[in-house]
Structure 1
């Protein structure tokens, strides 16, 4: 089997964005999600409405993270809320801005955001496998060569861990990435 260029481990918002962007850039990309569907935590965000972002200016937004927020400047200057909203508009996800600058899908349904991200991933060529937990990263000669799953080792040149923390175990957020890293 020819190795994947990138395997993205975790199918939440970060994983769906990372996998889609990798495939869009030409990488042979596989997204592995241990749950039955991607985006489980996204589905419950904003009480099921999906609080997508906030339109506050970068400096004000980062101010909510205290002194440690400074490390976010470079990332947010490359891709911020206006970029995300333009991306969602391209995916035909209409949005509304509410009190406090909070942005939600106009449909008030987090499922619409998840469905749009999954559809986009498939359209740009991401292979998505669900119910596929990752047990271990296979390292050979100090280089990543594969990802071990219950079905065997899947060869890859690189992996992106987007498993999230351990905040909502029922959605799959059980801290697996800490062990893998």
Structure 2
């Protein structure tokens, strides 16, 4: 797996195509105009990552910010994972954990000041919601585009330790 930080027009194009092709992961009824609006905001305001397999095919994408939007990105000790998409055929515990761990290591290399990770999950995405509760604490709730979201928080080192331990169990 290779992680590519979007920097060129070609990278942004790959992200946009992947996002458009996989937008139904968020919701079956994600209108194209709303999707394009979300893409615009992500390209303008977040850091975008592509996850490629050995054949250089994109199988996942993520976006994150330093700080949270509510504080206008001032707290650089928090990384907020705004979006994460994983192709259906890669949606399993092993791929999720391995990708999440590599993403966190990439973020830490780029931003060593990060101490906390925040992200959200829609309540109606039961599996993901239950998974996040295993290693993070709900700190807020808000109405999102597709329903109620819970915002999760976890210390950076606790999350990486949890994922490393889980990864070890999977490889045994």
TM-score (norm 2): 0.31
Higher-Rg structure is: 1
TM-score (norm 1): 0.29
**Structure with the higher fraction of residues in strand conformation:** 2
Q: Which has the higher contact order (CA 8 A, sep 6+)?
A: 1
